[in-house]
Amino acid sequence: MSAQPNILFFFPDQHRHDWLGCNENLPLRTPNLDRLMQKGSRFTRTYCNSPVCAPSRAALATGRYYDRCGVVHNGMAMPLDMPTFYQSLRAGGYRVCGVGKFDLDKPDLHWNLDGSLHLAEWGFTEGVDNEGKFDGSRSYMNNSDTPQGPYLKALHDAGMAGVYCQEHRVCKEKRDAYTTALPDELYCDNWLSDLGREYIRNFPAGQPWFIQVNFTGPHNPMDVTASMRARWENVEFPPPHQNGENHYSDEDHQRNRQNYAAMIENIDRQVGLFIEEVEKRGELDNTLIVYASDHGEMLGDHSRWGKSIWYEPSVGVPLIVSGPGVESGKVKDTLVEIHDLASTFIDYAGSAALPSDDSKSLRPVLEGRASRHREYAVSGLHEFRTAVSARYKYVDDGEGRELLFDLENDPLEDCNIIADHPLIAEELKKVIESEK
């Protein structure tokens, strides 16, 4: 293996950990992700550092815990003086590229029309940072129907920006799940995929490259094109768990889950197209491919939608790694935190470690030289903190309650057992304090 492999990193927004093709209870078809799992390793206990976009992505970029990454909620931008792994890779000789929704300067609602704002400062050689779903429509409407970023510019130029924004205005009337009027080629994940694959085609030979592909899906609203929707019209999904106080009808729940699945399958198709481009370059054997997400999605479980909560569907994320030296066909249950990818990428690139980082390279586990990675994993927001061990999960919910769950016997987190195991709760509480 070359000392510096290429790195293809897929980082979709809001993909919960249990919604993969390997889940026998779900009718998902994800042949390209399945291929990566067969050729590489899948991690079943991966946690985001914070179940909100901007803090989670800042933690990844800096390799630091939530409390030290410079971003504690979606109303903050990552400080430009924070060292990032992108900078380390670029300094180590990599061509560092990215496309899609980075959310590292989320509150500004301005990206430059070519998506170049702050890319160089963050550590990128080139790329396009585009708007997320609601950020894009809000920025457009707040500026007299004038685009503030590259995706709304593309829609504006095609005469579709007004249609897109109107869909967002009334999305709650459709319970956040509907079929968009956008054609397939203007659907955001397809649009940014085209951009990313064009960059790969133009990477110079002989220089290692890194590209991060930030799909905007499967984030709400659960908007899909007509072609994406067609397969799911009559597919039934299991209903939400413990959905006791939610105003959505059974039909609304089914449509949300159907469209969420359609977005994941569409992302899988784009993953396959990226892999084809790498194969055309003759570089697949020397390319590390990683699939993860910034946080999950409750999908009505426990009467919750979105993220921003401590339940497993919110804080748990998928992680698949395939590439040179990575053990194939392995399913690993060792605990991982999503910011560990920062040190993992640096390790494979052979570039300089980040100052004061908290991440830990997964490479020994990926290559079979270690069986365990972390003893604990933590996640949180200013409202709550949670810590998990191999079996137990402790939660300080920020409202005066402390909770403890036995994830082995109660994976759906229905029974608070803290009264029966105060010492375990105290152990995990100390983990949270030590990592602030």
Residue range(s) defining the domain that contains residue 409: 384-436
Q: Give the pLDDT confidence of 181-239 residue by residue, as tens digits.
A: 999 999 999 999 999 999 999 999 999 999 999 999 999 999 999 999 999 988 999 99
Residue 265 neighbours by CB under 8 Å, 6+ apart: 28, 29, 30, 228, 231
* CB-CB contact of 178 with 228 (8 Å): no
Please report, for the domain that includes residue 416, its CATH number: 3.30.1120.10
For residue 160, is it within any domain? yes
Q: Positive or negative, the Cα torsion across 336, 338, 342, 345?
A: positive
Q: Is 252 exposed, middle or buried (0-12, 13-18, 19+ CB in 10 A)?
A: middle
Residues 284 and 420 in one domain: no
Residues 44 and 169 in one domain: yes
Residues 294 and 407 in one domain: no
Task: Quote the tokens at residue 168.
Answer: 């967002």
Looking up tokens 């790195």 gives 7
Residues 305 and 436 in one domain: no
Q: Describe the chain by its helix, strand, coil percentages, rounded to 5.
A: 35, 15, 45
Q: Give the pLDDT confidence of 131-176 residue by residue, as tens digits.
A: 999 999 999 999 999 999 999 999 999 999 999 999 999 999 999 9
For residue 1, is it within any domain? no
Model pTM above 0.95: yes
Residues 64 and 187 in one domain: yes
pLDDT of residue 355: 92
For residue 114, is it within any domain? yes
Residues 215 and 285 in one domain: yes
- Tell me the H-state helices in 350-398: 363-366
For residue 207, is it within any domain? yes
Task: Quote the tokens at residue 122.
Answer: 């963050």
Query: At residue 76, what is the residue type?
Result: M
Residues 50 and 76 in one domain: yes
Please report, for the domain that includes residue 276, its CATH number: 3.40.720.10
How sure is the predictor about 435, in pLDDT bands with cuts at 50, 70 and 90?
confident
Residues 325 and 193 in one domain: yes
Burial 111-132 (b: 16+ CB within 10 A, else e): bebebebbbebbbbbbbbbbbb
For residue 139, is it within any domain? yes
pLDDT of residue 188: 98
- Based on the structure, what is the number of domains in the chain? 2
Residues 324 and 415 in one domain: no
Beta carbons within 10 angstroms of residue 110's beta carbon: 13
**Residue that is last in its domain, among 345, 375, 405:** 375
For residue 64, is it within any domain? yes
**Residue that is last in its domain, among 375, 403, 424:** 375
Stretch (H or E) spanning 272: helix 250-280
For residue 301, is it within any domain? yes
Residues 361 and 416 in one domain: no
Pairing relation of β-strands 385-388 and 392-396?
antiparallel
